[in-house]
Structure 1
């Protein structure tokens, strides 16, 4: 009789544990899905304000910078890759931590925002400027940068567009690199033309394929940085780096005087 009671007690305890695990897991999934929902709603709202078209070369357009800056004074630009869901405001904070888990509207969400390195010149005047964004697993923020692993994708998406209140840029891909978060490719300061030239050579050599785009010491480099999940699908120190040549572009974007 004692054995039966003991077995029943163990069974009930195990049932409680399994139930608790299930409830906790369901809560975590629900919490994650709700974060996705909030991020999507905010991205949709920002798109309505900015009015950036999916194809920036199809027709003339303006960006309502005044309205965007009412949302957040830290907004310094907009980044777009046609035929992807990468179309986001670029912000710049006072450090590189805040926008890792704060959105453009300064809401706390793990998806964060697309942000420029805090030490960079917001007018894209530095030799090398880094823009960061999370690789969100359900495909938002900078997640689709990993598609540049395939040269076929690069060939149909050779340009990244960046817009600021003063200028527009159409940036060809120089290099796609799979590296880690301590890579020398994150260097942004160069003591001489020679040092910068050596750095650019290393960036091109690190690419997983040759894009054929030439870049020299007279040019500026933009790097888009995001996490890589290639190590067992889990977050790690691995990174995808998309290196771009900054080129001014007289397209359909109308700059308001």
Structure 2
């Protein structure tokens, strides 16, 4: 009996231990599952929160109150975007049209001329004279067009040209254009018409045509001058030198010169000077000067 009771007590203890261990395992498994469920729920809540915050930030950046209902759908937003795109396209088309219209209003198309004569950058016209020619400038060779046409062919008449002391947009304080004094009046031959006072008074307009605009000058002086190289003799980057040149021109009084003493030239003005030879000899040049009226 004592032996049986001993074995029965032993198995009872083993059973209790097994039951306790099984309970512990079950609790552990249940706890892990509960943790997984809790983690999944937290993840869902965090994702939902992030989505809402993202929408709020987007609406805030666009200036929209996130608390207000969204009354616009996707199609309306796409329509608004299309309208902005169309408006931008129309504005660009209008600007392009304005540029085209401006070029169309010019009597010469410099861009087209440059396809055949790349050194042409402008065109000069003086109503009442034969002066109606392209204007050229040769890089690194100021004498190139002295005896060449704008096409580059040799010709004693040469071309109307500027030197590289001047920019090609006529924005320098003084721009000088050169042309031969041809006996038949070609090139700058007819500038000598300005020696006559009545002709000077009646023909004061001078035009320069560029790619995209027309420059209008008012002729204020036509004078017999010496043969100094104007761009090398005066420092037009300084106001004093500019005014000194203007005073010298305005003070000339002789039978071959005409000056409008009523016109005022300011230091900020842009002057176009046309230079050609004179029959009195190589020591002289005949200059016709105009002041820019429009920018």
Quick check: TM above 0.5?
yes
Q: Tell me if the contact between 2:122 and 2:136 (Cα under 8 Å) persists in the aligned partners.
A: yes
Shift of 1:166: 2.6
Q: Tell me if the contact between 1:135 and 1:227 (Cα under 8 Å) persists in the aligned partners.
A: yes
The 1:160/1:191 distance shift into structure 2, 3 A limit, reads closer
Bigger Cα Rg: 2
1:4-153 equivalences under 5 Å are 60-94=105-139, 95-153=141-199
The 1:164/1:83 distance shift into structure 2, 3 A limit, reads same
Aligned residue pair count: 187
Listed one character per residue, the Cα deviations across residues 166-203 of structure 1 (whole Å, up to 9, x for unaligned) are 32112111211112212668645335322322221112
Which structure's residues are more often helix, by fraction?
2
Is 1:179 the counterpart of 2:229? The answer is no
Q: Tell me if the contact between 1:172 and 1:213 (Cα under 8 Å) persists in the aligned partners.
A: no
Q: Tell me if the contact between 1:175 and 1:206 (Cα under 8 Å) persists in the aligned partners.
A: no
Q: Tell me if the contact between 2:234 and 2:241 (Cα under 8 Å) persists in the aligned partners.
A: no
Structure 1 unaligned regions, length at least 5: 1-58, 250-257
The 1:88/1:172 distance shift into structure 2, 3 A limit, reads same
- Provide the TM-score with structure 1 as the length reference: 0.67
Listed one character per residue, the Cα deviations across residues 2-48 of structure 1 (whole Å, up to 9, x for unaligned) are xxxxxxxxxxxxxxxxxxxxxxxxxxxxxxxxxxxxxxxxxxxxxxx
- Provide the TM-score with structure 2 as the length reference: 0.59
2:205 to 159, 179, 201: 159
Q: Distance in 2 between matches of 1:186 and 1:135?
A: 22
Listed one character per residue, the Cα deviations across residues 203-250 of structure 1 (whole Å, up to 9, x for unaligned) are 21126233132211010111000011134xxxx23210111112227x
Q: Distance in 1 between matches of 2:229 and 2:112?
A: 38
Paired position in structure 1 for 2:264: 214
Shift of 1:120: 0.6
Greater relative contact order: 1 or 2 (C-alpha under 8 angstroms, separation 6 or more)? 1
Q: Distance in 1 between matches of 2:234 and 2:241?
A: 11
The 1:124/1:61 distance shift into structure 2, 3 A limit, reads closer
Q: Distance in 2 between matches of 1:184 and 1:165?
A: 27
The 1:72/1:147 distance shift into structure 2, 3 A limit, reads same
Give the CA RMSD over aligned residues.
2.1
Q: Tell me if the contact between 2:176 and 2:272 (Cα under 8 Å) persists in the aligned partners.
A: yes
